Structures are given as C-alpha cells and as structure tokens.
Amino acid sequence: MGSYVPSTPAQRQEMLEAIGLHDFRQLYRDVPEEMLLRDGLDLPEGMSELEVSRTMTAMAARNIAYSAVLRGAGAYDHYIPSLVKYVPAKEEFLTAYTPYQAEMSQGILQSIFEYQTMICQLTGMDVSNASVYDGATAAAEAAAMCRDRKRRVTLISAAAHPDTINTVRTYCYGTGDELRVVPVKDGRTDPEALRQMLAGGDVSGVYIQQPNFFGQLEEAEALGEIIHQGGALYILGVNPIAAAILKTPRDCGADVAVGEGQPLGMPLGWGGPYLGFMATVQKHMRKLPGRIVGQTVDSRGQRCFVLSLQAREQHIRREKASSNICSNEALCALTAGLYMSTMGPDGMAQAAEQSMAKAHYLADALCAVDGVKLRYSGDFFHEFVTDMPKTEEVLSALSEAGILGGLPVDGGILWCATEKVTKDAMDKTVAIVKEVLAK
C-alpha cells in the first residue's frame, strides 16, 4: 500500500539522526506512557474501489430524500443554479489555500473582493470582510466589535435564533462580558423592555434579527432609534434573500450587518460548511475581524488586488484578534459571490418575492383547517408559526408522504416556504394536516 508521506523511510531516518534520534517514537518521549497507542487501530480490512462504492451507496440509501422541504429555522432550501455548483469545484479554487502570500493569490483575492462588493451592495454598508464561520459566529464577532472599556454588556433579542443566542453567550463567557436577553412580545422584540434595559448606560451593542426566528418582521428602524438613543451600537442580523426586497440594514440605522450566508448558493448539508457575512460602516472598519481585500494598481499601472486591512487578524493583533478566516470560508465566499452575480438583483428579488408569496399561501391554507391558527399576528417573510394539536402526528404523516414538515416549537410548528416549494406540495401538506387532525 502506498503512503501519504512523500519522504522515504531512509530519508526519515536521516532526518531523525540529524536531530540526534534513532526512532520516531523518541519524538513522543514527553507523552505519558499510558497515552501511547500500542495495539494499533481497530480498522476493517482494506477494500477495492468497487467494494467501497457499494458500501458508500448502501450507507447513502439509508438517508431520507424528501420531495418537498417546509423547514427553515436557519438553513433554507433555495434553488442553486448549476453554474454556482460547478465553478467552485474547479481545482484552482477548491485546493487554493488562504492567501497568506497575497501577491501570489490574485484570483482568490479578486473573488473575495467581488464577494465583499456584493455584500456591501446587499446591506448598504461601506465595507465587508471575507466572511467568518457562520451566521452565529458573525453575530458574536459583531458583539465583540461594539465593546469598549466602559460598556461591556451585550443585549440580544429573545426572538433571535437560539443557536445565535448560545454562541454569543459563549463568546461573552470567554471574555468575561455579560449577555442579557431582551424579552419578546407577540413574537417580536419588546421595544419598551429594550428601552429599559438600555437605561443603565452599560450596553455596548444590541443584536436584532430580521426576520426573526419566528419569521416575524421586526420594526428594525424603530428599534435602531431606541438603541442609538441608549448610546449603544446596533447589530442587525439579516437573511440575505429577504435583504433583496427589505430595507437595507444601513437604511434601518444599523452600525453592523451580519447574517448566515447559506441561502447564497450553499446546499443543505447537515449544518455546513456555511459562512457568516459581516459588513459595517467606515467608522468601524478597523474593528472588523479577518481580512479586507482592496483594489489597486501595480508598478506597471495594471489592476491588482491586495489585502488592505487585517486589523484583527490572528497574526497581527494576537490576543486581541478574533479572526476565524480560513480556506473554507474563502471557498464559501466564492460560492456566495457566484450566486449573487448569477442571480443578480432581479433574480434575488424574485426568489424573495416567490418565497414570501408561497409562505403566505401556505399559512392561509393551513389556518383554514379546523384547529390550526397563526401564533403571531405580525407581518412575516417566508416563515411563520402555527399552533396546532397533534404536532408529532402531523410531522410524522408528512414525513411518510415524503415531505419534511416544519420545526416543532413549543406546541406549534415553525413552517418555511421557499421558491422551490410547489403549489401541489403545499396543497398535499394541507390535506395531510386536515386528515390527521380529523382523526
């Protein structure tokens, strides 16, 4: 069997002798004896390519392939154009590492520059970084951006995604800062509670999600005014598809815009890999984590790209840095950039409008069934919560019919519709719900 190690046994022995060792095990002499592996790994015998293919095919067959997906809650089943799937798979992109030698990575740098430009256009902000691990990480990084010596408290709406709340709480715990959760009223952030929680003058930043976890559209502009009156910075977490038709975070008064970039061309993949986009106004540019790519000209006057700013990069600020940038995120950012450029403003707006229209159709049809009603009365984008009995039975019946129903939430169901959901699938869903509840 071949080896993944490019050096020969003789070469490795020569290297050991050069440092005064005779056996590679001597490299682990500081490791406790009981921690060393003596008996080898419990691995099966090797298989041929054909046998591996059969084994993997059998494993894949155990997965459930749904004909329709009516679940969102942070990961959304949008249509991905073929171009977006295949271009990032090209070897030049797929195997490219993070651009530490920027001048040697013009292609990657250009793709990041284009991605940053489109994120700024989508959010209305002045500057974007090259993305972080996911939307929850972006929210936590944004909270860190807002802190100063006197203000060490972060507020987050209880209507934000639970994973985002937990991630921000973890980051705050690590830095010794405090996180306080703003209560919800009728599915949206309570403005009066927010005003009271800002009165102490110790709040650095406030995170609001738009649309929120329950699908409700927040009064984002009014909340921004309250936050600024309290002397804090405003972080607005946005769904990038919804952002194509809603007011931009900049227009809502946000200081920092963040979000989960998965809807921008990333398939549903058991939670990743995704990317968290971050953008801000020029005033806070130096507080952004990671890298910012800029455009310039070289000594011959030709267009080129450079790493303009890395103020909070791990090798620059050390203990004050917080960058999570890696090659994975560059690839995901490339994918997002391809999606945005392929769809264009009109295409993204159409995806958003279709998603919203279908969600409202589904909500109206479900609420026409006896025993089903909307939990919240406010406006919503493409997600909504219904109260209904027999939640588990409904979801089980839908699954048997090849439909992934919504997410169970506190005795109800959080539904989602995207442009991919057909009228037939929604009508079938309503019929199944009606049948289950009639029993």
pLDDT tens for each residue of 347-368: 999 999 999 999 999 999 999 9
Residues of each domain in the chain carrying CATH 3.40.640.10: 82-341
CB 147 within 8 A of CB 205: yes
Distance, first Cα to last Cα, the chain:
62
Beta-strand runs (E) in 341-396: 373-374, 383-387
- pLDDT at 141 (0 to 100): 93
Q: Which three-class secondary structure state does DSSP give residue 203?
A: strand
Task: State how far the Cα of 75 lies from the Cα of 195, in Å rounded to an integer.
Answer: 31
Q: What is the largest CA-CA distance in the chain?
A: 81
At 293, which helix (H) or strand (E)?
Answer: strand 292-297
Q: How many CB atoms lie within 10 A of CB 423?
A: 11
Look-up: residue for tokens 């806070």?
A: 284
Q: Which two tokens stand for residue 432?
A: 């199944």
CB 345 within 8 A of CB 244: yes
Q: Which three-class secondary structure state does DSSP give residue 413?
A: strand
Task: State how far the Cα of 196 lies from the Cα of 226, in Å rounded to an integer.
Answer: 10
Look-up: residue for tokens 């539904």?
A: 415
Looking at residue 22, the DSSP 8-state letter turns out to be S
Task: State how far the Cα of 54 lies from the Cα of 48, in Å rounded to an integer.
Answer: 10
**CATH architecture entry for 82-341:** 3-Layer(aba) Sandwich (3.40)
Looking at residue 74, the DSSP 8-state letter turns out to be T
Nearest CA among 378, 300, 293, 302 for reference residue 330: 293
Interstrand relation of 184-185 and 373-374 (parallel, antiparallel or unpaired): unpaired
> Which residues sit opposite 414 in a β-bridge?
385, 407
**Half-sphere exposure for 13 (CA within 13 Å, toward CB):** 3
Q: Which two tokens stand for residue 91?
A: 């070897």
Residues in contact with 9: Cβ distance below 8 Å, sequence separation at least 6, in sequence order: none
- pLDDT at 101 (0 to 100): 64
Task: State how far the Cα of 121 lies from the Cα of 344, in Å rounded to an integer.
Answer: 11
CB 76 within 8 A of CB 416: yes
Amino acid code (one letter) for 65 = A
Task: State how far the Cα of 188 lies from the Cα of 19, in Å rounded to an integer.
Answer: 65
- H/E/C letters for each residue in 263-286? CCCCCCCCCCCCCEEEEECHHHHH
CATH number of 68-79+344-438: 3.90.1150.10
Intervals of the chain under pLDDT 50:
1
Mean residue pLDDT across the chain:
91
Look-up: residue for tokens 């989602």?
A: 416
Q: Which three-class secondary structure state does DSSP give residue 71?
A: coil
Q: What is the pLDDT of residues 298-350, one digit of tens each?
A: 899 999 998 887 766 655 655 666 665 555 678 899 999 999 999 999 999 99
Residues in contact with 264: Cβ distance below 8 Å, sequence separation at least 6, in sequence order: 240, 241, 335, 336, 339, 340
Q: Which two tokens stand for residue 227?
A: 């936050």
CA distances to 242, 355, 361, 372, 406 from 426, rounded to whole Å, are 21, 12, 8, 15, 12
Task: State how far the Cα of 377 lies from the Cα of 332, in Å rounded to an integer.
Answer: 36
Please confirm whether the linkage preceding 191 is cis (ω < 30° from 0): no
Residues in contact with 342: Cβ distance below 8 Å, sequence separation at least 6, in sequence order: 81, 83, 84
Sign (positive or negative) of CA dihedral 235, 241, 242, 247? positive
Looking at residue 322, the DSSP 8-state letter turns out to be -
Q: Which two tokens stand for residue 276?
A: 């968290």
At 378, which helix (H) or strand (E)?
Answer: none
Q: Which three-class secondary structure state does DSSP give residue 183?
A: coil
Task: State how far the Cα of 195 lies from the Cα of 314, in Å rounded to an integer.
Answer: 36
Residues of each domain in the chain carrying CATH 3.90.1150.10: 68-79+344-438
